[in-house]
Amino acid sequence: MPKPFDPRLIQESFALVEAEADKLASHFYALLFLEDPALRDLFPPMMDAHRDRLITALVTLVHRAHDTEALDEYVRQLGRDHRRFGVRPEHYAVVGQCLLSTLRRFAGPRWTAEMDGCWYAAFQRVAGLMVEAANEAARTAPPWWAARVVGHVRPNGSTAVVTLEPDSPYPYRSGQYASVETLRWPRVWRPYSIANAPSPDGLISLHIKAIDAGWVSSALVHHTYVGDTVRLGPPVGSMVCDPRSQRDILLVGGGTGIAPMLAIAEELSRWNDHRRVHLYFGVRRAEDLYAMDRLAALVRRDPWLRVVPCVSEDYRFRGERGLLADVLQRQAMEHDDWTRHDIFIAGSGPMVAGTAARLIDLGVDERRVRFDSFDQQSGVILDVRRLALARAAA
């Protein structure tokens, strides 16, 4: 077993290449397919999502380097998730070789032998955990699940609430997400948060917004019907409430980012009896508040839950108006101290980055903030990390 890698050196060395992360990812895949052309068949024609996924994995490794427990769980999730791509243990050697070559190239003369050894040890450890987790999962779960569409509702023109029935039990936790592949676009997977807590009927709900040039999202919103079948990758994500915590909870969902907040709120309804929960639902126009009926039902059932709808671009709306970051800052100034909360954020990249940044600026410990954004997730993580480091150095 390789020696544990040095978190300090991992972070210092990654800082040498961080500014060119996009180019780094492109170079890595070009080198990988040159070294082993057969690997190209595992990937879709368009590589944008995979480039972002690589950067996200690297940034997460760096970001969580000091938290062994969290990092190991993230890496194990990666191992289980990569089974859907057909990744095999023998693929990791060439991946590690190409990754180290790419890091050396972009760091230039500042790269040291010590850094090289540290990243080699880190990759060996990560690869070992991924292979171990994949092998364990193979004994009890498929690499992907077939799921039949049993419900398809369009609350507005660009959004669909899709209900799926997996062909076997799907072992997710509230707050996690699933990658989805449609028959229209083989090998093209896109992540969507699950919008309900696990239930006895085994059904899962996804909230999907069709975006421009979004192959999978457009197919799921505009060209998917009851009776169709999709594939689900293994559940992924760390945006899960810790029942051991005694802190109050802040849930922030922008647009379809309300989906995991609904799942978390439903889960809390089963066991929470004392932690106050504040849920903020932000949209541009009032007609986009499509989840309010379901939220209202949760409020009626759970007295500890407070729901605040926020609208940023509709002057007719009589509730909270403005961007979620602005609303949360006003609330903090008036009566809520977010520094005492466990915080979860989901939505578009700019919304998540802006909201997390504002909360950190208000004094929230960055380690208390968990977030998911499937719109340039790596960029969001980098932005939040830079701000946290700047505040720590101030």
Residue 337: the pLDDT is 87
- Sign of the C-alpha dihedral, residues 22, 26, 29, 32? negative
CB 172 within 8 A of CB 235: yes
pLDDT band at 4 (very low <50, low <70, confident <90, very high): low
Residue 241: the pLDDT is 94
pLDDT at 1 over 90: no
- What is the distance, to the nearest Å, from the Cα of residue 174 to the centroid of all Cα atoms in its chain? 13
Among 367, 21, 295, 44, which Cα is nearest to 190's?
A: 44
The superfamily (CATH) of domain 7-138 is Globins (1.10.490.10)
CB 161 within 8 A of CB 195: yes
pLDDT per position as a tens digit, 295-333: 999 999 999 999 999 999 877 888 889 999 999 999 988
pLDDT per position as a tens digit, 230-287: 999 999 998 999 999 999 999 999 999 999 999 999 999 999 989 999 999 999 999 9
Among 334, 160, 134, 284, which Cα is nearest to 230's?
A: 160
The rounded percent of the chain whose pLDDT value lies above 90 is 71
Residue 376: the pLDDT is 67
Domain 145-232 has CATH 2.40.50.140: no
- Distance separating alpha carbons of residues 258 and 236, to the nearest angstrom: 17
The residues, any chain, with a CB within 8 Å of residue 208's CB and separated by 6 or more, are: 159, 160, 161, 162, 192, 217, 220, 221, 256
- Distance separating alpha carbons of residues 43 and 61, to the nearest angstrom: 23
Give the long-range contacts of residues 287-291, CB within 8 A, separation 24 or more.
Answer: 287/156, 288/156, 288/159, 288/255, 290/155, 290/156, 290/159, 290/161, 291/207, 291/258, 291/262
pLDDT band at 187 (very low <50, low <70, confident <90, very high): confident
Distance of CA 123 to CAs 2, 30, 46, 75, 117, Å? Answer: 9, 19, 26, 11, 10
Q: Which residue has better confidence, 282 or 45?
A: 282
Residue 42: the pLDDT is 84
pLDDT per position as a tens digit, 146-167: 999 999 999 988 999 999 999 9
CATH assignment, 248-393: 3.40.50.80
Among 290, 134, 162, 291, which Cα is nearest to 232's?
A: 162
pLDDT band at 64 (very low <50, low <70, confident <90, very high): confident
Furthest-apart CA pair in the chain: how many Å? 62
pLDDT per position as a tens digit, 132-143: 999 999 999 999
Q: Which residue has better confidence, 202 or 50?
A: 202
Residue 388: the pLDDT is 67
Distance of CA 297 to CAs 185, 238, 275, 305, Å? Answer: 37, 26, 19, 11
Task: Label residues 347-381 b or e (16+ Cβ within 10 Å = b).
Answer: bbbbbbbbbbbbbbeeebebebbbbbbbbbbbbbb
Token pair for residue 249?
């909870």
Phi, psi at residue 211, to the nearest 5°? -120, 155
Q: What kind and span of H or E run contains 188?
A: none
End-to-end CA distance of the chain: 39
**In the chain, which residue ranges form alpha helices assigned H by DSSP?**
7-14, 21-35, 48-63, 68-81, 91-107, 113-138, 215-222, 258-271, 292-301, 324-334, 349-361, 377-393
Residue 148: the pLDDT is 98
Q: Compute the average pLDDT of residues 112-139.
A: 94
Cβ neighbour number for residue 246 with a 10 Å cutoff: 8
pLDDT per position as a tens digit, 88-103: 999 999 999 999 999 9
Q: Where are the domains of the chain?
A: 7-138, 145-232, 248-393
Residue 389: the pLDDT is 66
Token pair for residue 181?
């592949």
* Mean confidence (pLDDT) of the chain: 91
pLDDT per position as a tens digit, 209-238: 998 878 899 999 999 999 999 999 999 998
Topology match between the domains 7-138 and 248-393: no
